[in-house]
A and B are shown apart, each in its own frame.
Chain A
Amino acid sequence: MILVNKLKQSSYQIAVVTVVLVVILGFWKPHVLVEGLQRACLYAVIALPMALILGIVGIINLAHGDYMMLGAYFAYWLNVYTGMDPLVAILPALAAFFLIGVASYRAIIKHVLGTPELNQLLLTFGLAIILEQLANLLWTSRPIKLPLKYVSSSATIGSFTFGTYEFIYVAAAVVVLAGLLLFLKRTPTGQAAMAVGQNPRGAKLVGIHVDRTYLLIFSLSIALVGALGAIFMTRHSIFPLVGAPFTMKSFCLIAMAGIGNLMGILWCSLILGLAENFVLTFRGYGGWADILFFALIVLVIMVRSHQRQVK
């Protein structure tokens, strides 16, 4: 109960800080606000499935961003061979990556559950390399971008013009977060998954099929992140290593929010997204935006270890 209160408190604090920052930014640099929001939602929607796997299956998937990269190439493939629009390809990507998730779980992940964390980290690291190099072999490392007209739509308020297409990330984040929360809190399967996440042994005792739950959650998460790849590739150019930074940023967000806190991920990604876009506005110093997440994660780890010592 104390833990629950503490979690609520910390996410409440984060929320207040975020709101204050947002108001200040809105007046000072509206570009940062809008683009930061869009970027933040992209981060959040990638981090959410990873958090789900970490929270319930209890494994840190270092190949997470690479599944998104494969999803992006999958949508590209469909576009090349059938002319399908990447946004329509979300549906086949969901199905295909659910199956890929099932295969990955059955063939690889399942065998390291319950082994030392070290083995899991090494295994998913190896998996990440395999996926990246597979893409390298199949599509080479040349960046690919589809010429889509609708992605450059924009809107103007007063003298302030901004891209509107990227709000698709906001929509995606809201849909995925709401869907996951509904699934976990309201459906029997989701509640069972929560129970497994809290205590796999206890869940087994009350008759929940733990292995099947792991399979479902893992595959669902891979399906989500693969489908997201289809959205991602409409706006960004893709190459085999495009997903890797997202793995680390996602972990940074999960560590900030606390494992198991899905709502907190949204707030934390707002902080990261806004901060990155804020740095990007300084001409000549934009390159430094890429190390913000690292500074954040080190800060979070220091704060958390300090809290633990005080406790």
Chain B
Amino acid sequence: MKTSRILLYLIVLAILFTLPFYTGVYVLNVMDIILIYMALALSWDMLLRSGQISFGMAGFFGVGGYAAVLLFLNTGVHPLLSIALGGLAAGLLAWLIGSAVLQLRGMYFAIVTLALAEIFRVIVRNLPDLTGGPEGTVLSQAIFAGNSTYTYWLVLTASAISVAVSEVFRHTRVHFALTSIRNDEIVAKSSGIDVFKYLVFLFAVTSAIQGITGGAYAHIYGFVSPEGSFSVDFTLLPIAMALLGGMHSTWGPVVGAVVLGVVSEFLKLQIPYGHLMVYGIIIVVAILFFPQGIMGALGQRWTKTGTG
């Protein structure tokens, strides 16, 4: 069972890795977007497993992007290193914020994270000497000179990392700690789990993933701007994807990202203004009618093996 599963993962990874050799640039671009949102959706779901809800993906995504681009421009480090450092910056920032606000959880935490994107946007806009202000900063050249194969491998790595982290969390003691925090915090505390420490750690790790994704995105498209980098898209779509696919699992957000990623390509063409409404409707309908998502609806067998 275990080896066959690992074999399956390897085959899927191999297919994904070799994708550039038999598809065109358009498919790769769509895949880039899907993989970026997949990483965000997974990072959101990882924190959700502890019962904490974050609306701050766009914030850390933008911070990672800005940090990567500014480090690259001002210190001349290699773009890949700057992406990693951008993730580190987002993680550190999340650690600071988490240490301050995770003592009070639930809606307090949720609202603070909801404000984050807006706050970071204001800060970036008001530091024009460093960040380029409202116009943002444009790179003279995109990463790998815009080579679509290399950029695809970059985002594939980023989202493979988030899948791996998510699976590690699911199959180690972290999983039990998080589930017990979600179910009953007092029970978790009396079982000797340091709830606060776990949550801060988790918030920092998931934000670092968002930062790395943001850095990759910024380098691929070659610019950062207050409106673009902190766009509500990066909060809204991952949530809709994770809810559609199914919360509290690795494969739910993955499936949701693939489905919605393809659908969003059509939606953008069909409804240029207001296509975001569809994601809002997906969130509301998913919460009201099928909180288990696609993976939950696919049958109990999957969820049973999944929650083990």
Contacts and interface: CB of A to CB of B under 8 A. Distances in A.
B66 interface: no
Contacts of B281: 126, 130
A122 B51 contact: no
B284 A126 contact: yes
Nearest to B280: A129
B53 A123 contact: no
Interface in B260-307: 271, 273-277, 279-284, 287-288, 291
Interface in B110-126: 110-112, 114-115, 118-119, 122-123, 125-126
B11 interface: no
Given A108-B288, A118-B53, A287-B126, A294 B277 contact: no
B163 to A, nearest CB: 23
A48 to B, nearest CB: 17
A305 B103 contact: yes
Contacts of B110: 60, 121
Contacts, number: 123
Interface in A85-136: 108, 111-112, 116-119, 121-123, 125-130, 132-134, 136
Nearest to A259: B107
Interface residues of A, number: 46
A146 B48 CA distance: 44
A253 B104 CA distance: 16
B55 A125 contact: yes
Interface stretch (A157-165, A202-210, A223-231, A295-303): A295-303
Chain B contact residues: over half helix, strand or loop, or mixed?
Answer: helix
B100 interface: yes
B150 interface: no
B243 interface: yes
A12 B156 CA distance: 57
Contacts of A117: 106-107
A112 to B, nearest CB: 7
Contact of A290 (B55, B106, B122, B236): B122
Contacts of A304: 104
Given A117-B107, A297-B115, A129 B51 contact: no
- Interface pairs A-B: 3 shortest CB-CB: A126-B283, A129-B280, A305-B103
